[in-house]
Amino acid sequence: MLLDKEGHNVTDANTGEQALAIVAEQHVDLVMLDMRLGRENGLDILSRIRARGDHPEIVIITAHGEVDEAVCAMKLGAYDYLVKPLAPDELLIRVGKILEKRAQSQELMLLREEAARRHEPYVASQSEAMREIIRRVQRIARQDMPVLITGETGAGKEVIARLIHSLSTRANKRFVAVNSCALTENLLDSELFGHVRGAFTGANTSQPGLFQEADGGTLFLDEIGDVTQSLQAKLLRALQEGEIRPVGSTKVAKVNVRVIAATNRDLWTLSETGEYRKDLLFRLGVIEIKIPPLRQRRDGIYALTDFFLARQNAKIGDEKPFEITPRARRKLYMYDWPGNVRELTSVLERSFALAEGHVIDAEDIIINQHATDTYEEPAHDMSLHEVEVAHIRRVLSLCEGNQVKASRLLGISRSTLQRKLKFLNGFDGR
Ligand SMILES: Nc1ncnc2c1ncn2[C@@H]1O[C@H](COP(=O)(O)OP(=O)(O)OP(=O)(O)O)[C@@H](O)[C@H]1O
C-alpha cells in the first residue's frame, strides 16, 4: 500500500509460481521476495527469476535472525535485503535508490540492444569491475585512437574490442580480427600487410592484407605481445603514418584503420628489457583497458552464469528451461577459473549437454581441474586400442565415474560403454 501510494505500480503474488508467472508476463523492475513463501524456498524462486534474461532486481525480505540466509541470497544475486518489520521510510528510500540505479542501467541496456542489432556479443557486465570497464569503453569508443586491452586468456578482451568497435564512428565498417601468434612471422607479415605477385614461392597473385581489408574500420590484433621486432617496426609505421608496405612491394599504401591490440603479457616490463619496442607500446597503449581475471570479479560469475543460462534457454525454445541450483552456483563461485570466462562457458555448456533433467546441480558441474596436469605424454606410439582405453578412462574420471554422463560425452550408448569397460578391465587386469 505504501509503495502504491508513492505512485509505484505494485502487483502481489502469494506463491512463487504466481511470482514467476507475473515476471514472465509483465515488465517488472523490482521483486520484493519473502524468504518464507509457504512451503516454497525463497532461494529457489530467486534463482528461477534470475535465470530469466532480463530479470528484475530482487530485494529479499527476511525475518529477524535469518540474516545468514539473506547473505546467501545476496551471493545468489539478490540486490539487497530488508529485515522485518519494515520501516516505511527506509523501505521507500531503498526502493527509490534501486529504481534510480536501474534507470541508469537502461543506458547499458541500450548498449546491449545496440550490440544485438549489430549481431555483436552482448557483454554481461553485472560485476562492478566490468561496469567500470563499460563506462570507460563508452567514453573512449568514439575517440579514434588505438586501444590496448590487457588481461588473461579468456577474460573477454575480444568481446570488449568488438564493443568498442560497435560504439565507434567506424561501426558500420568492418571489424577484422587476427590472432598474431597463430601464424609464423612471414605469414603474419603477408597476412597483415598483403603481398605482391611473386613475393615468395606460391604467391601467384597479389593479395591485399588485413590492414587493407579493415580500411575505414577496426583491426583487432590479438596476442600482440608475441610479434617479432621487425613486425613491431612495421606496425609502428602503420600506426604512425597510416602507411603499409605489402611484402615484396616497393610502394607503400595508405590505410585508415583503428587498431585495437590485446595481450596477456606485461608489455611494459618487456619494453624495459628491450624485448618490446617502447615507441610502439606508447602508441598502442595511449588508452589501456585492463580486464581483471574472473576470480578477481567473482560477482561476475553469477551474472555470467545467468547470462549463459538465459542464452541456453532461449536456444532450446519451448522445452522446459534449465535451472541451476544454489549448490551448483556455489560450486561455480568457489572455483578460481584459470581459463576465465571461456572456461566458464565451456563448463556450463558441458553441464547443459550432460544433465539428466533440466535442473543443473553441483554434481552436474564438471570442472576439468586436473585435465591438463594428469595428461601424460605416452612413452611410445600408442595403438588405436590403447588410445581408446586411455580416452575412456579420461572421460570417466572427468565425469567422476558416472557412466551415463561418460557415455553421452563419448557419443556411445551406456551398454556399449559397459561392454567396452568389461573388455577393458580384462585387457589390462584393472
Ligand atoms: N563479459 C562477457 N559477456 C559475455 N560473454 C563473454 C564476456 N567475456 C567473455 N565472454 C565469452 O568468453 C569467451 C572468451 O572471450 P574472448 O575471446 O573475448 O577472450 P580473450 O580475452 O580475447 O581470450 P584470448 O586471450 O584467449 O584470445 C568468448 O566466448 C566470449 O564470448
Give the mutation target among 178, 291, 302, 341 for probing the ligand 1 site: most ligand atoms within 8 A of CB.
341
CATH number of 128-290: 3.40.50.300
Residue 254 DSSP SS3: strand
Give the model's pLDDT for residue 126: 62
Could you tell me if 263 and 290 are in contact, meaning their C-beta atoms sit under 8 angstroms apart? no
Ligand 1 nearest atom to the CA of residue 162, by list position:
18
**pLDDT score for 430:** 38
| Best residue for ligand 1 mutational test, from 128, 153, 159 (most atoms within 8 Å of Cβ) | 159
Mind listing the pLDDT tens digit for each residue in 135-176? 899 889 988 999 999 999 999 999 899 889 988 999 888 999
pLDDT value for 191? 86
Determine the residue of 134, 136, 158 to mutate for testing ligand 1's pocket, defined as the one with the most ligand atoms within 8 A of the Cβ atom.
Answer: 158
pLDDT in tens, 8-47: 889 999 888 888 888 888 888 899 998 877 777 888 888 8
Residues 6 or more apart from 354 whose CB is under 8 A from it?
A: 364, 366, 399, 405, 408, 409
CATH architecture classification, 372-428: Orthogonal Bundle (1.10)
Q: Which three cell numbers stand for residue 375?
A: 595428461
The residue nearest atom 26 of ligand 1, judged by CA position, is 153
Local structure of 384: helix, strand or coil = helix
How do the domains of the chain map onto residue ranges?
A: 2-108, 128-290, 295-369, 372-428
Closest residue by Cα to atom 16, ligand 1, is 156
271 neighbors 158 (Cβ within 8 angstroms): no
Please give the grid coordinates belonging to residue 400: 567422476
Rg of the chain over CA atoms, in angstroms? 27
Q: pLDDT per residue over 47-56, tens digit each?
A: 888 776 667 8
Q: What angle, 0 to 180 degrees and rounded to 10, lies between the N-to-C axes of helices 326-334 and 340-354?
A: 150
The whole-number pLDDT of residue 235 equals 92
* Residues with C-beta less than 6 Å from any ligand 1 atom: 121, 123-124, 130, 151, 153-159, 222, 262, 264, 307, 341-342, 345
- Among 342, 343, 345, 348, the mutation site with the greatest number of ligand 1 atoms within 8 A of its Cβ is 342
Average pLDDT, the chain: 82
For ligand 1, what atom is nearest to the CA of residue 155? 21
Closest listed residue to residue 256, CA positions, set 215, 224, 315: 215
CATH number of 295-369: 1.10.3720.10, 2.120.10.30, 1.10.8.60, 1.10.10.10? 1.10.8.60
Q: Output the CA 155–ligand 1 centroid distance in Å.
A: 5
Instruction: Average pLDDT across each block of 10 residues of the chain; the chain has 430 residues. List them in order.
Output: 88 88 86 82 82 78 77 80 85 85 63 55 67 88 93 92 90 86 75 87 84 93 88 91 90 93 92 91 92 89 86 81 91 90 92 89 80 44 71 75 80 82 55
What grid cell was written down for 378? 605416452
- Which atom from ligand 1 is nearest to the alpha carbon of 151? 21
What is the pLDDT at residue 380? Answer: 56
Nearest atom, ligand 1, residue 344 CA: 12
CB atoms within 10 A of CB 267: 22
2-108 shares its CATH topology with 128-290: yes
**Do residues 254 and 245 lie in contact, with contact meaning Cβ atoms separated by under 8 Å?**
no
Taking a C-beta distance cutoff of 8 angstroms, is the pair 255, 211 a contact? Answer: yes
Query: Residue whose CA is closest, atom 25 of ligand 1?
Result: 153
CA angle 142, 145, 147 (to 5 degrees): 100
Half-sphere exposure of 72 (CA within 13 A, CB side): 17
The pTM (predicted TM-score) of the whole model is: 0.63
Which pLDDT tens digit goes with each residue over 409-418?
787 888 888 8
Q: Is the dihedral of CA 280, 284, 289, 293 positive or negative?
A: negative
Q: What percent of the chain has pLDDT over 90?
A: 27
CATH T-level fold of 2-108:
Rossmann fold (3.40.50)
Does residue 43 sit in helix, strand or coil? helix
Burial 23-32 (b: 16+ CB within 10 A, else e): beeeebebbb
Closest atom of ligand 1 to CA, residue 341: 12
User: How far does CA 177 lie from the centroid of its chain?
Assistant: 17
Judge if ipTM > 0.85: yes
At residue 78, the pLDDT reads: 84
What pLDDT is stored for residue 332 in this prediction? 92
Nearest residue (by CA) to ligand 1, atom 7, is: 156
